[in-house]
Amino acid sequence: MRIVVLVKQVPRDMNISLNKDFTVNREDLQKITNPADVSALAMAVGIKNRYGGEIACMTMGPKSAAECLREAAISGADELYHICDPLFSGSDTFITSLILSTAIRMTGSADLVFCGRHTIDGETGHIGPQISVMLGISCITHITEISEIHSDKLICNRFIGSENNIFSVKMPAVITVCDFFTAPTLPSLATMRKAASLPVKVLTAKDLNLTGVTGRENSPTKVERVYIKERKRREAAILSVEEGIEKMLEIFCPQNGKHNEW
């Protein structure tokens, strides 16, 4: 079984600034692996330990993003891919999904693709579902546990809102994983040596045959304006029970065909 895990490097501090094109200015920011992606990797490693297989970990981003891959190698990844090219800069979620799905397909496809349900610097949750459409495979989001894997399907728990449901999903599939606490484990010396020696394969636009179709200029969605919305608070009033009933009658019982406003 081949498992692909997608991880992203994100700013640790959300007190960020924007570039002129409204992309996040990532210079001089402390960076971490997106928490939900850490959970996705942990789930994938658990599947590998139970059912066998190999994990290919991919990240897309500048040179610093390779740090995510080294952490993934220590956690149990067997292959590392860094999708890195200035031509990818400013790509929206659609073009990003195109790049990632192309990389998955060109490096050997996958039985399972794991990623976080969202990233803390974007919050769109678009990547997993869009990749599944581009690869033509199943997708299920907000997963907290995979209890069984069979030759053609998996059984998983999905938590959304306040409900936890059990689903059967046809494989191959894209799984987006909820954030959950992963207890840090101390890697063995052998694991650290293997992780340090694992090569990082860099994939460029040319390698993926995507020259001229990526970046902000080729993205169908663009941010034109960013502003802080002012929230006006209404004045609160403390009323007795009798006054409250009287006020509710004024609001909800129309007079002369009109409702009064409070």
Query: For all residues of the chain together, what is the average pLDDT?
Result: 88
**Is 230 domain-assigned?**
no
Predicted confidence band of residue 86 (pLDDT cuts 50, 70, 90): very high
Tell me whether residue 118 is in a domain: yes
Q: Which residue has the tokens 């080729």?
A: 218
Judge contact between 60 and 66, C-beta under 8 A: no
SS3 label, residue 204: coil
- Using pLDDT thresholds of 50, 70 and 90, give the confidence band for residue 74: very high
* 232 in any annotated domain: no
pLDDT for 25 equals 66
Q: Does residue 199 have a cis peptide bond before it, meaning omega lies within 30 degrees of 0?
A: no
User: Which pLDDT score is estimated for 251?
Assistant: 80
For residue 253, being part of any structural domain is answered with no
49 in any annotated domain: yes
Q: Which of 109, 102, 9 is nearest to 54 (CA)?
A: 109
Q: Which pLDDT value is given to residue 136? A: 97
Flag whether 98 is in a domain: yes
Residue 189 located in a structural domain: yes
Mean pLDDT of 53-58: 96
Task: Provide the token pair at 135.
Answer: 């690869």
* Beta-carbon count within 10 A of 79 CB: 20
Domains in the chain: how many in total? 1
Mean pLDDT of 222-229: 78
Domain of residue 143, CATH code = 3.40.50.620
Residue 205 lies in a domain: yes
How long a stretch of residues is the chain? Answer: 262
Per cent of the chain over pLDDT 70 is 90
169: containing domain: 2-218
Q: CA angle, 202 as apex, 198 and 204 as ends, to 5°?
A: 170
Contact 5, 72 (CB under 8 A): yes
Burial of 172 (0-12, 13-18, 19+ CB in 10 A): buried
Output the CA–CA distances (angstroms, integers) from residue 42 to 6, 11, 75, 89, 141, in the order listed. Answer: 12, 21, 8, 28, 16
> How far is Cα 58 from Cα 157, in angstroms, rounded to an integer?
25
What is the pLDDT at residue 16?
Answer: 67
